Every structure is written in C-alpha cells, then in structure tokens.
Amino acid sequence: ALSEVPMSKAVAGVRVGLVGDKYIVNPTNEEMENSELDLMLAGTDSAILMIEGYGNFLPEEKLLKAVEVGQVVMSSQCCLI
C-alpha cells in the first residue's frame, strides 16, 4: 500500500506451520522446530498470488486446510491495510 509498485489491491503474506493437528499462523522459531509444515503464502483479500514451502509427506487435505487458514488471515490483514 505504501510502495510505488502499481498494485490495485493491498498484498499481505503469512507463514503457516502445523504442530500436531494445530495450524499456527506466523509461528515462532521454537514452534517451527516441531512443525510438520512450513508454508509461505502471499495474496490479496480475495486471491492467493504465491505459495511456497515444504511439508513432511502430508495428506492433501492437511495442505489445503493450511492454505485456507492462511487465506483467512491474509484477507483480514489486507482489509486492515
């Protein structure tokens, strides 16, 4: 929102970890030591622009849930921006 880059919407980014069955948005380094997932998402309030990360052979359902959790937080961040 403050950059001179011509973007029509605000863009936000989040990191999602998975410890046990709990999805953690923007986890601490200590939480990431026990995480089965390290997923970085960037996007707007209505779209995901970038997904990057790795996981410990997770089922597709868990990965999709992590993307959903991250999108909800990114959407609220974009609205606040």
* Per-residue model confidence as pLDDT tens digits over 3-53: 788 888 899 999 999 999 999 999 999 999 999 999 999 999 999 999 999
Q: What number is the average pLDDT over the span 51-80? A: 95
CB atoms within 10 A of CB 25: 15
Look at the block and give the residue holding tokens 């953690």.
Answer: 24
| Partner residues linked to 52 by β-bridges | 40
pLDDT at 1 over 80: no
State the amino acid at position 77 in one-letter form: Q
Asked if residue 50 lies in contact with residue 43, where contact means CB atoms within 8 angstroms, the answer is yes
Work out the pLDDT band at 81, boundaries 50, 70, 90.
confident
